Structure 1
Amino acid sequence: MMKQQITTFLTFQNNNAEEAMNFYIDLFDNSKVIEIHRYGKDGPGKEGTVEKALFELNGKQFICSDSFIQHEWTFTPAVSNWVECENDKEIEQLFKRLSENGDVKMPLDNYGFSKQFAFVEDRFGVSWQLNLE
């Protein structure tokens, strides 16, 4: 497999990188874990948590990690994942699952630039823009 030059990297600070990764893989077709490396008993992160995981969401590669350093920052809605949906059923399902225990920035609606659009921050703090042309 050829390496991609630019890959989105998600830094989790609550030891929930694997939970988030598995949630996303379950949500999108053509998705899988490619490889996962865990922190060992000698650290620096909590044993068994994700040091670095490479995964695909509908064929696009992502990397995630459980940070052993508690940063002053976290995810921001200023950077989000744009998802082109194929039909009403898909956008409605994604909206429902991603907004569950999350924060709806813009509810699913027609905003003029799109037939259906929503902006959601999921329960892990990652932002998603869902679009149906």
Structure 2
Amino acid sequence: MNHRMKGLIPFVILIGLAVLAYTNQDKKSNDKEIDKLKAENERLRTTIKDKSSGMRKQFITSLTFQDNNAEKAMNFYIALFDNSRIIHINRWGKEAPVEEGRIMKATFELNGNLFMCSDSPAHHNWDFSPAVSKYIECDDEKEIERLYSKLSENGEVPMPLDNYGFSTKFAWVIDQFGVSWQLNLQ
């Protein structure tokens, strides 16, 4: 684990404890929150340790949803890709600027790649752009066809599955959530 990551973990814990100190919750509630923070800290340490072996830094794809689809999209992707899991979900509370229970921040893994998603309380003048996409090198014909079928369902297909001369098969799809994917089979 690199020096910056080691320094970041206590900082995250310190911020969490400071927030708890300024709330008007009773001691029992604070103890529960502290236990949650400790558990999250341990999950983050494990994730960082897993990710830091063999890597200097981990880049995380962050998906900001403006239509409250963060959880639905995350679950769709987790079911679609092998070796995937939800790492942690932090939800908006009662006093939030969005509906209670929506995702404030969630981290998840898709086949070894870290992602983060959230339901944005603010509506921005931007959304997902096809100019930035997730590129997947598929292992075989069956995989590319399965991913193409599922990702294009209720979405858009700027480039249908075909041989464009630079690979055996290629497709560019924008899924039902607006996220752009390039699928390639050498």
Q: TM-score, normalised by structure 2?
A: 0.70
Aligned-partner Cα distance in 2 for 1:120–1:15: 21
Q: How many residues align?
A: 133
Give the match for residue 101 of structure 2.
48
Matched, 1:100 2:159: no
CA offsets 1:70-89 (integer angstroms, 9 cap, x no match): 11110000000001100000
1:37 is aligned to 2:85: no
Structure 2: tracts of 5 or more residues without a match: 1-46, 52-56
CA contact (8 A) 2:59 2:114 kept: no
Higher helix share: 2
Q: Please, what is the CA RMSD of the aligned residues?
A: 1.0
Q: After TM superposition, where is structure 1 displaced by more than 3 Å over at least 4 residues in a row? A: none
Partner of 1:125: 178
Q: How does 1:1-133 map to 2 (within 5 A)?
A: 1-2=47-48, 4-133=57-186
Structure 1 segments unaligned to the other structure (5+ residues): none
Give distance in 1, aligned partners of 2:95 and 2:86. 25
More strand by share: 1
Computing the radius of gyration over CA atoms, which structure comes out larger, 1 or 2?
2
Structure having greater relative contact order (Cα 8 Å, sep ≥ 6): 1
**Conserved? CA contact 2:135–2:183, under 8 Å:** yes
TM-score by length of 1: 0.97
Q: Deviations over 1:33-66 (max 9, x none)?
A: 0000000001032200000000000010000000
- Counterpart amino acid of residue 85 in structure 2: K
SS of structure 2 residue aligned to 1:53: strand
